[in-house]
């Protein structure tokens, strides 16, 4: 009986999590998965340092950390 309750709770949680999965996936892709480009000025304003002389030209630190500097 206890296993059935646990299993039902797991299935219900998974079903509820699945309802918001599309919005969460697109928000995650927009912020983390898909790298965007930022100019040196917004990189600095966000608290980062544009590493334009290093391989990849990425913004280090701040709110734009890991975004490529264009």
Two tokens at 67? 């975004």
Please report which helix (H) or strand (E) contains residue 58, including its range. strand 58-60
pLDDT tens sequence across 13-58: 776 666 554 444 444 445 555 557 888 899 999 999 998 787 888 8
How confident is the model at residue 45, as a pLDDT? 92
Separation between Cα atoms, residue 13 and residue 60, nearest integer Å: 37
Higher pLDDT, 2 or 20: 2
Two tokens at 48? 């980062």
């Amino acid at each position: 009986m206890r296993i059935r309750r646990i299993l039902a709770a797991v299935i219900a949680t998974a079903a509820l999590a699945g309802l918001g999965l599309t919005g969460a996936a697109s928000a995650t892709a927009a912020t983390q998965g898909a790298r965007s480009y930022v100019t040196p000025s917004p990189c600095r304003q966000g608290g980062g340092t544009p590493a334009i002389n290093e391989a990849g030209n990425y913004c280090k630190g701040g709110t734009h950390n890991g975004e490529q500097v264009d």
